Amino acid sequence: MTYQGIESVSCKYGAPMGRAGNLCDSETSERFHVRKLRLDSGGYDQGGAYWGHGASLYHATSESGSHEMFFRLESKQRRKVAQWLAEQGRVAYGTTLDRLTARYMVKIQFPNARFFGRIKVESRP
């Protein structure tokens, strides 16, 4: 495994396109780690899987490692979370908004999921 918690791939005929997630039990209430994956200049992750370039790529994995998913954050999803925050009188920008949007994406697949770490969101003046 690499430091990001993703396994290295070793293929005789080149790198696989992306990775498969494990979405078997959507009713889990486990805690999840959500991390932004770093891609090299060729669009490969640390384990050697090819993703190409585009929106930010995230990896979510449960505490036990039995559930995981890979996804990209699109601007449409970020706008939806920003609008939801505004309706509550709160505001988030940049990295904070990305982290909240990533958690939102996990909650779509795993509605009972909980997360490690807290994200501070400021109230609107």
Burial 21-34 (b: 16+ CB within 10 A, else e): eeeeeeebebebbb
Q: How confident is the model at residue 3 (pLDDT cuts 50, 70, 90)?
A: very low
pTM of the full structure: 0.80
**Tens-place pLDDT, residues 52-100:** 998 899 999 999 888 889 999 999 999 999 999 999 999 988 999 999 9
Q: How confident is the model at residue 27 (pLDDT cuts 50, 70, 90)?
A: confident
d(CA 15, CA 98): 28
**Residue 101 pLDDT exceeds 60:** yes
Burial of 114 (C-beta count, 10 Å sphere; 0-12/13-18/19+): middle
Domain residue ranges in the chain: 1-116
Q: DSSP letters along 40-103, please?
A: -TTSB-TTS-B--SSSPEEEEEETTSS-EEEEE--HHHHHHHHHHHHHTTEE--HHHHHHHHHH
Structural Rg of the chain based on CA atoms: 16
pLDDT at position 14: 60
d(CA 46, CA 31): 24
